Amino acid sequence: MKVVVTGGAGFIGGNFVHYMLNKYSDYKIICLDALTYAGNMDTLTNIMNNKNFKFIKGDISDRKLVYNLFEDEKPDIIVNFAAESHVDRSIENPEIFLKNNIIGTSVLMDACIKYGVTRYHQVSTDEVYGDLPLNRPDLLFTEETPIRTSSPYSSSKASADLIVQAYHKTYGLPVTISRCSNNYGPYHFPEKLIPLMIVNAINDKPLPIYGTGENVRDWLYVKDHCSAIDLIIHNGRVGEVYNIGGHNERTNLQVVETIIKEIGKGKIIFVEDRKGHDMRYAIDSTKIHNELGWLPTTAFDEGIKKTIKWYIDNKPWWENIINGEYQNYYEKMYGK
């Protein structure tokens, strides 16, 4: 089997590349990544010499490059992680989200039709369902929940999902879509809540919580997301959407307090709220459990300890990031 993993130099794509190479010794994994600010070759260092792995630098919206890749490699499966992924950046600059997340997806699917693949998998997000109220813990997102987005990021992901479904219905492309809740774990870019708080606590910098910190996210250890996608691309039903989540709801304040307790230090500051800030995400993953037997295996208390240990043991990985262009981003976001 040949699998093209787009966005494999990013957080989840990088974890997925490692997961697949470890699990399938007879698969060839080809990573296509544009190496935007979020892509990091350090995430792939220890597999660059693996004979089953190939890295190609390129943009998924570059039609010529994508077609050449498909012509040369004739892949069986495409797993599309490549995207602009940070909500705050989408609020500052929506346009790049439309190009990378929507146009890029359509170019990839055109190549899938032209060269024939057995499966195109779109890695989507629970954010396409909008948010849930705090006072209705009984409500969860199911695959039937209407699309109702909040940010330019989630709107671009929802647009891509609709186009993926259109390519299935109109052209018969064998697609699947997964919509996952918030991931955490190794190789997570330190602009996102959990790695930002870990890195700041280690470096004795303030821990900036937006608004009141009551917003709730449903946290999933990244390896559990990888195992779910592995099941979907092999056994999932074509044309279907699968929700993925850990039943692991925490307020942002609870998450940050856990990090402070584990690291043994850290000072919270409350800062201006995110515009259009979604209140609560919570996933019902009954469908993937019933159809494919998937269940998460890492509890939050265990996963957060492993994650903190990874950041303590792998300082050069994140110090390279925070000492670069990230400083300008941080100053703009948190300087005030």
Which is closer to ligand NAD, CB of 182 or CB of 227?
A: 182
Give dist(CA 309, CA 260) in Å, integer: 13
Should residue 2 be labelled a site residue for ligand DAU when binding is judged by CB under 6 A?
Answer: no
Give the C-alpha separation, 159 to 75, whole Å.
Answer: 25
19 is catalytic: no
Q: Does 321 bind ligand DAU (CB under 6 A)?
A: no
Give the integer Cα–Cα distance in Å for 11 and 8: 8
84: tokens are 């602009």
Among ligand NAD, ligand DAU, none, what binds residue 9 when CB lies within 5 to 8 Å by partner kind?
A: ligand NAD
Question: Hey, what amino acid is at 29?
Answer: I
Q: Does 224 bind ligand DAU (CB under 6 A)?
A: no
126 is known as an active-site residue: yes
How, if at all, do strands 249-251 and 216-218 pair? antiparallel
* 249 makes contact with ligand NAD (CB under 6 A): no
Nearest to 3 by CA among 91, 92, 81, 90: 81
Quote the CA–CA distance of 38 and 189 in Å, as a whole number.
7
Task: Count Cβ atoms within 10 A of the Cβ of residue 271 and give its class: 0-12 exposed, 13-18 middle, 19 or more buried.
Answer: middle
Is 85 near ligand DAU (CB under 6 A)?
A: yes
Are the C-beta atoms of residues 9 and 41 closer than 8 Å to each other? yes
Spot the catalytic one: 19, 120, 129, 153. Answer: 153
- Give me the catalytic one of 127, 161, 218, 249: 127
Binds ligand NAD by CB under 6 A, chosen from 18, 157, 250, 280: 157
Of 117 and 153, CB closest to ligand NAD? 153
Quote the least distance from Cβ 298 to ligand DAU, whole Å: 17
Q: How many residues bind ligand NAD (CB under 6 A)?
A: 30
Phi, psi of 28 (to 5 degrees): -100, 130
**According to the binding rule CB under 6 A, does residue 303 interact with ligand NAD?**
no
User: How far apart, in whole angstroms, are the C-alpha atoms of residue 214 and residue 203?
Assistant: 25
- Concerning whether 257 is annotated as a catalytic residue, the answer is no
Binding to ligand DAU by CB under 6 A, coded x per residue (else -) over 170-209, reads -----------xx---------xx--x-----------xx
Using CB under 6 A as the binding rule, whether residue 6 contacts ligand DAU is answered as no
The answer to whether 281 contacts ligand DAU (rule: CB under 6 A) is yes
Given a contact cutoff of 8 angstroms between Cβ atoms, the answer to whether 175 and 165 are in contact is yes
Instruction: Judge residue 274's burial from the number of C-beta atoms within 10 Å of its C-beta, 0-12 exposed, 13-18 middle, 19 or more buried.
Output: middle
Binding footprint of ligand DAU, residue count (CB under 6 A): 19
The size of the chain, in residues, is: 336
Q: Does residue 189 touch ligand NAD according to CB under 6 A?
A: yes
**Contacting ligand NAD (CB under 6 A), which of 3, 4, 5, 9?**
9
The binding site for ligand NAD (CB under 6 A) comprises 6-7, 9-13, 33-36, 38-39, 59-61, 81-85, 100, 104, 123, 125, 157, 180, 182-183, 189
Active site residues: 126-127, 153
